[in-house]
Amino acid sequence: MTATSVITQFAPSFHGFYRAIIATSFPWALKEWDQLSISVNALFKPSIVERLNNLLLESTRQTTEDQDLEAFVQTLLARYVSSGRPLTGYFAVCCVIEIHGTVLAQTLCPPENVDSSAPLEEAAAANAVWASLVTVPAQGYDIEDETVKANLSDTVTSALRCYSDLLFQIEELEGDPSIDTYAWETMAESLVGFVS
């Protein structure tokens, strides 16, 4: 799989998947959250984040011979950057954390009367479920499946570690972190994942 195909096909597809999750209310089951979280957790690995961060440079090297492809890649990347969403490994981590928090929160406080015909708004499902959790007690679970328990524990640990690592890195900086790192967004979503 080439860097260009990841940037032009897989990254936008993952971004669409992420937006669908955070924009669409759905009454997730705990086992569904568990399976989904296991699937997306690979994007937390430092080697994957580093690889995704290096895709832009690799893609530039690959597309220099095909001017049409190079123009397409540059246009796509410029569109993401102009929207404040540079395609980086850090962006993938932020998306994964928000997916975790949204789905887990909807598991704990399932949305009622889901209207699938309503237009999708950015983070509508994430915002709605958090508004519900503030006013309505979360559904209780008696979890007997040890793998689900372990995954929940790992999720809390990962969220806290992500927050702590970013906080440490920001404290070491002399100014605000670059927009490419999604530091503030990821820290906020880490806390949301921890609260879930």
pLDDT in tens, 60-88: 777 667 788 888 888 888 888 888 777 88
Angstrom distance (rounded) from CA 6 to CA 56? 10
82-126 pLDDT, tens digit per residue, is 887 778 888 888 888 889 889 988 988 888 766 655 555 777 888
* pTM check: above 0.75: yes
Query: What is the C-alpha separation between 34 and 176, in angstroms, rounded?
Result: 35
Q: Does 40 score more than 80 pLDDT?
A: yes
Q: Is the pLDDT of residue 193 over 60?
A: no
Domain boundaries, the chain: 3-111+120-195
Q: Which phi and psi angles does 124 have, rounded to 5°?
A: -60, -45
User: How much is the average pLDDT of 151-178?
Assistant: 84
CA dist., res. 104 & res. 25, Å (int)? 12
Judged by DSSP in three states, 12 sits in helix
Cα separation, 40 vs 137, in Å, equals: 28
- Among the listed residues 54, 62, 78, the one whose alpha carbon sits nearest the alpha carbon of residue 2: 62
Percent of the chain with pLDDT over 70: 92
Contact (Cβ atoms closer than 8 angstroms) between residue 109 and residue 139: yes
